[in-house]
């Protein structure tokens, strides 16, 4: 009887302490988010592929905007195209965020634009204009290959972009993966003392609503895993590497903002020994491919793909036997490794284990593993189309302390007669601040710019208040520029 009582007691304790997390009735995390990039060079195929499964996504990212050297935007695939319009309409109907990506990869041009205040402001105005013109849910910033000296200016750009559109539009940031230094270098002595990063994770965490870490294209980058796994080894993304990357990222970026970038493609390599360094194996990356390409190779070669140590599918065969009309290195071994649905499921499980926000898939172009859709179906959480306004407290606590009388505000009936923008100075700026404060769009709660303390300087706080006013009054684009359109609306109030 005592043993029976003990058994019941232990069972009750086990039930009490089973972690429940945030799972819903179906065992799914309602906060788990899935986003997918659709490339402009495969826009029609990508949209056709994703539409039947759109309900499995929280967000879609048309990969459409690039940037010219002067910082102005270029639509590589216009959002007015039928496929994007169809996708946007369907996304709106089922509460899926429609957030296009701006991709930019010119190190010197990025620095030139972001380090120049005037060019940076023009760039931000251009982004805001596109966001409001197309009624987008936000924008995804994917600026790659930045210089270390650009770091402070990129952070400033994100801050000013957040001030311009962040009050009601999502700002997503797509950022390169950062491998721990002890995995990048053979020993502590080999780690340079002057390493400088191009991304300030602390600042990125402040101004980005989501941070997509591009945890793919690992190749031979992690020296520790290269040694541990042995040859052949050149993965798209080993789960062990991804976990290292995420744990490092979590030191400075909030858990609920991070999504793991996962790939739907693979790489083909030639692996060979080199006479220059005896015992050293060299890898030459040839090209990327979609899974169907690898499966057709397997069929021609009568091979069965196997799961490798990185958790991806792999084919290994003599390069001389390759079906491709490419002259291989005579003694090379051809390696094909790719991210299939199960490899992606593995990353989704890791996301759950680490308590991250979700996964971001690069890319949906019609060539991904068809079994991917079942993985997404199993993990998809609840959609959240509108950006939460974090500055508004739903249920403020009742505090029984004396509240000081507010500073008497100037109720302005004047309207600035000159055009004003960030950096403007003069009496008209003060009139604009007084007008905004009197209409409930406060420049600041206290200090310079607050009611009764208006200034003659048009700074970021003035621009943010003006942008909120423009958005509330339906003025497009709501970019924080005070011109004829805004003047006419303000004069009618």
Q: What is the pLDDT of residue 329?
A: 74
- Confidence bin at 19 (pLDDT 50/70/90): very low
- Confidence bin at 276 (pLDDT 50/70/90): low
Task: Give pLDDT tens digits for 63-72.
Answer: 999 999 999 9
Q: What is the pLDDT of residue 138?
A: 97
The fraction of the chain above a pLDDT of 70, given in percent, is 86
Q: What is the CATH number of the domain that holds 413?
A: 1.10.101.10
Q: Of 91-95, 102-106, 240-244, 462-466, which gets the smallest average pLDDT?
A: 462-466
Q: Please tell me whether residues 225 and 122 are part of one structural domain.
A: yes
In a domain, 120, yes or no: yes
Mean pLDDT of 129-149: 96
In a domain, 304, yes or no: yes
CA-wise closest residue to 421 among 70, 164, 139, 157: 164
User: Cα 62 to chain center, whole Å?
Assistant: 13
In a domain, 5, yes or no: no
Q: Please tell me whether residues 370 and 438 are part of one structural domain.
A: no
Q: What is the pLDDT of residue 492?
A: 87
Q: What is the pLDDT of residue 124?
A: 95
Q: What is the pLDDT of residue 423?
A: 80
Mean pLDDT of 72-87: 97
Q: What is the pLDDT of residue 118?
A: 94
Mean pLDDT of 441-459: 83
Q: Of 33-42, 286-295, 302-311, 477-486, which gets the smallest average pLDDT?
A: 477-486
- Confidence bin at 325 (pLDDT 50/70/90): low
Q: What is the CATH number of the domain that holds 366?
A: 3.20.20.80
In a domain, 96, yes or no: yes
Q: Please tell me whether residues 212 and 163 are part of one structural domain.
A: yes
In a domain, 438, yes or no: yes
Which residue among 379, 404, 431 closes a domain?
379
In a domain, 311, yes or no: yes
pLDDT over 90 (residue 4): no
Mean pLDDT of 442-466: 83
In a domain, 388, yes or no: no
Mean pLDDT of 252-261: 97
Q: What is the pLDDT of residue 60?
A: 98
Mean pLDDT of 365-374: 97
Q: Please tell me whether residues 222 and 324 are part of one structural domain.
A: no
pTM (predicted TM-score): 0.76
Q: What is the pLDDT of residue 479?
A: 84
Length of the chain measured in residues: 493
pLDDT over 80 (residue 478): yes
Which residue among 327, 349, 379 closes a domain?
379
How many domains would you assign to the chain? Answer: 3
Q: What is the pLDDT of residue 237?
A: 98
Q: What is the pLDDT of residue 383?
A: 58
CB neighbours of 406 closer than 8 A, spacing ≥ 6? Answer: 451
Q: Which domain holds residue 310?
A: 266-338
Task: Give pLDDT tens digits for 380-422.
Answer: 765 555 666 443 333 333 333 333 444 444 455 689 999 998 8
Q: Of 186-190, 257-261, 294-298, which gets the smallest average pLDDT?
A: 186-190
Q: Please tell me whether residues 98 and 73 are part of one structural domain.
A: yes
Q: Please tell me whether residues 130 and 37 are part of one structural domain.
A: yes
In angstroms, what CA-CA distances link 364 with 144, 184, 235, 239? 20, 30, 20, 21
Q: Please tell me whether residues 208 and 60 are part of one structural domain.
A: yes
In a domain, 242, yes or no: yes
Q: What is the mean pLDDT of the chain?
A: 87
Q: What is the pLDDT of residue 455?
A: 87
Q: Of 68-77, 218-227, 345-354, 427-436, which gets the smallest average pLDDT?
A: 427-436
Q: Please tell me whether residues 373 and 403 are part of one structural domain.
A: no
Q: What is the pLDDT of residue 448?
A: 77
Q: What is the pLDDT of residue 409?
A: 47
Q: Please tell me whether residues 459 and 347 are part of one structural domain.
A: no
CA distance 162 to 159: 5
pLDDT over 70 (residue 158): yes
Q: Please tell me whether residues 327 and 411 are part of one structural domain.
A: no
Q: Please tell me whether residues 89 and 235 are part of one structural domain.
A: yes
Q: Please tell me whether residues 285 and 403 are part of one structural domain.
A: no
Side-chain-side CA neighbours of residue 112 (13 Å): 12
């Amino acid at each position: 009887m005592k043993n029976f009582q003990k058994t019941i007691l232990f069972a009750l304790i086990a039930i009490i302490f089973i972690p429940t997390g945030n799972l819903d009735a179906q065992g799914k995390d309602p906060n788990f988010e899935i986003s997918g990039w659709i490339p402009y060079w495969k826009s029609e195929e990508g949209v056709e592929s994703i539409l039947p499964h759109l309900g499995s996504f929280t967000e879609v990212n048309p990969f459409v905007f690039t940037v010219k050297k002067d910082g102005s935007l270029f639509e590589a695939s216009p959002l007015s195209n039928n496929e994007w319009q169809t996708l946007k309409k369907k996304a709106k109907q089922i509460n899926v965020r429609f957030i296009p990506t701006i991709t930019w990869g010119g190190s010197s041009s990025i620095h030139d634009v972001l380090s120049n205040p005037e060019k940076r402001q023009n760039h931000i105005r251009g982004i805001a204009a596109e966001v409001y013109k197309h009624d987008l849910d936000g924008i995804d910033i994917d600026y790659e290959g930045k210089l270390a000296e650009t770091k402070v200016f990129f952070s400033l750009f994100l801050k000013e972009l957040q001030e311009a559109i962040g009050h009601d539009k999502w700002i997503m940031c797509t950022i390169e993966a950062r491998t721990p230094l002890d995995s990048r270098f053979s020993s502590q002595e080999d780690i340079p003392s002057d390493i400088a990063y191009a991304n300030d994770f602390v600042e990125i965490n402040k101004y980005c609503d989501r941070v997509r870490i591009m945890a793919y294209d690992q190749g031979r980058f992690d020296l520790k895993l290269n040694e541990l796994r042995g040859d052949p080894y050149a993965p798209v993304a080993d789960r062990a590497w991804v976990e290292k990357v995420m744990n490092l990222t979590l030191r400075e970026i909030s858990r609920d903002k991070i999504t793991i970038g996962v790939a739907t493609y693979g790489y083909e390599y030639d692996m060979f020994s080199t006479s220059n360094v005896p015992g050293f194996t060299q890898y030459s990356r040839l090209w990327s491919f979609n899974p169907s390409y690898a499966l057709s190779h397997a069929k021609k070669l009568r091979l069965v793909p196997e799961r490798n140590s990185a958790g991806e599918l792999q084919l290994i065969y003599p390069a001389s036997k390759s079906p491709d009309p490419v002259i291989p290195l005579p003694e090379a071994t051809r390696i094909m490794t790719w991210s299939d649905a199960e490899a992606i499921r593995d990353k989704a499980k890791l996301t759950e284990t680490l308590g991250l926000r979700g996964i971001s898939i690069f890319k949906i172009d019609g060539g991904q593993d068809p079994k991917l859709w079942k993985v997404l179906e199993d993990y998809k959480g609840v959609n959240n189309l509108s950006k939460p306004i974090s500055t508004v407290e739903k249920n403020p606590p009742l505090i029984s302390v004396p509240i000081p009388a507010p500073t008497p505000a100037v109720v302005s009936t004047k309207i600035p007669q000159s055009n004003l923008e960030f950096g403007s100075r003069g009496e008209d700026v003060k009139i604009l601040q007084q007008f905004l404060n009197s209409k409930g769009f406060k420049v600041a709660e206290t200090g310079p710019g607050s009611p009764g303390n208006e200034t003659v300087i048009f700074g970021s706080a003035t621009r943010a208040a003006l942008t909120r006013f423009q958005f509330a009054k339906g003025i497009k684009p709501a970019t924080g520029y005070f011109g004829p359109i805004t003047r006419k609306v303000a004069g009618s109030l």
